[in-house]
Amino acid sequence: MKRFRTPNKIAPSEITPKDIYLNRRHFMQGGAALAAGLSATGAHALVQPEGGSATPSGPDWLERKVAAASTTAYGQSEKPAPYSAASTYNNFYEFGMSKSDPSRHAGDFTTDPWNVTIGGECEVKGTFALEDILKGVNLEERIYRLRCVEAWSMVIPWIGFSLSELIARFKPLSSAKYVEFITAERPKEMPGQRSVFSTIRWPYREGLRMDEATHPLTLMAVGMYGDVLPNQNGAPLRLVVPWKYGFKSIKSIVAINFTETMPETSWNQIAPHEYGFYANVNPDVDHPRWSQASERRLPGALFGSNRIDTQMFNGYAEEVASLYSGMDLRKWY
Ligand SMILES: Nc1nc2c(c(=O)[nH]1)N[C@H]1C(S)=C(S)[C@@H](COP(=O)(O)O)O[C@H]1N2
Ligand SMILES: [Mo]
């Protein structure tokens, strides 16, 4: 997206040979973990950061809960990006517009205490502490592909739970057709919100149709790589919708509203002809300024750009295509 930057440009200095080497080693460990997962106990280890990475910190109760997450079959054949790439090559405009801004500027962002306000067309409304939001929830690891609309992608081992579980607890009314999500607005802690160059009307907003929001693949994440989320990846609570362009996966959520009409969404507000509400990954529908037929899988290969074909619905078509049957995906991009 990013009107000021050409897509697909990642400085070689941003992904070092060390990352690539560490990732290879990490992948071998992952393979061993997978083999263990197929053994009698069925238990295997969560994907961990490659050796020596700094780990983020959250409240003790959340650290413990995340560490106790169970593993799942999702994405076990994928090769996760090194933690050092997933936590330093980010889009989080609240902290600046370049990829390295979030990891450089989000460190002091306050994520504890954290409240989420639930409202709109539902029976149970109010402001809930994160601990209440997560009460009774069993966390699991899911390795998902993340495809940015800018035509790069990464594989990330998230820890979270199905949004559908949360939605059920707030008892949406039959008038609830969409779910709206809103990110924190704290200009004192978010330098990007003070920037005069920003095109986003704060706070950042996203939305899903109710059937998308309650689809089992739709994840509320509180962790990655076996630990809580780093601030730059949307701590303490963010959405992950793996079949849609990354901008739908809104970070640091403070409000969830059930609505009767389609909610306004940030990138759609900025450039409606470029970023639709649905934003399903689709290699056949190009962005007006670039092709969506392929993507750069990060980190890059030592030689070459590691360009791969983009898959319909980011490879999740079997699970989600039926949500859109009868819809013209060129019109509803
Ligand atoms: N609040 C907020 N959420 C956001 C963004 C943002 O700028 N602000 N960027 C989005 C985009 S464009 C992408 S690709 C993903 C990136 O997630 P990651 O940094 O965890 O990989 O976050 C999404 N969520
Ligand atoms: Mo993105």
Answer whether 183 contacts ligand 1 (Cβ < 6 A).
yes
247 CA to centre of ligand 2 in angstroms: 5
Residue 330 has pLDDT above 60, yes or no: yes
Answer whether 250 contacts ligand 1 (Cβ < 6 A).
yes
Chain centroid, CA 15 distance in Å: 20
Domains, the chain, in order of start with CATH, read 33-324 (3.90.420.10)
What tens digit of pLDDT does each residue of 232-244 get? 999 999 999 999 9
Q: Among all ligands shown, which has an atom nearest to the Cα of 92?
A: 1
In angstroms, the CA 136 to CA 140 distance is 13
In angstroms, the CA 282 to CA 330 distance is 9
24-46: b (≥16 Cβ within 10 Å) or e: eebbeebeebeeebeeeeeebeb
43 CA to centre of ligand 1 in angstroms: 31
Average pLDDT over every residue of 223-232: 98
Confidence of residue 52 (pLDDT cuts 50, 70, 90): low
In angstroms, the CA 233 to CA 246 distance is 12
Residue 24 has pLDDT above 70, yes or no: no
286 CA to centre of ligand 1 in angstroms: 20
Atom of ligand 1 nearest to the CA of 156: 21
What tens digit of pLDDT does each residue of 251-284 get? 999 999 999 999 999 999 999 999 999 999 999 9
Q: Among all ligands shown, which has an atom nearest to the Cα of 234?
A: 1
Answer whether 91 contacts ligand 1 (Cβ < 6 A).
yes
287 CA to centre of ligand 2 in angstroms: 13
35 CA to centre of ligand 1 in angstroms: 33
Residue ID of nearest Cα to ligand 1 atom 16: 91
Answer whether 83 contacts ligand 1 (Cβ < 6 A).
no
Torsion of CA 103, 107, 111, 113, to 10 degrees: 180
Instruction: Mark out the alpha helices in 38-100 (DSSP H runs).
Output: 60-67, 83-86
What tens digit of pLDDT does each residue of 149-166 get? 999 999 999 999 999 999
Taking Cα atoms as reference points, which of 205, 219, 215, 212 lies closest to residue 145?
A: 219
Q: What pTM, to 2 d.p., does this model score?
A: 0.88
Is residue 115 within 8 A of residue 130, CB to CB? The reply is yes
Chain centroid, CA 253 distance in Å: 12
Best substitution site from 10, 89, 92, 219 to test ligand 1's pocket, by max atoms within 8 Å of Cβ?
92
Which residues have CB atoms below 5 A from the ion given as ligand 2? 91, 148, 246-247
Confidence of residue 204 (pLDDT cuts 50, 70, 90): very high
Residue 17 has pLDDT above 90, yes or no: no
Residue with tokens 């402001």: 127
Is residue 183 classed as helix, strand or coil in its secondary structure? strand
> What element of type H or E holds 33?
helix 17-37
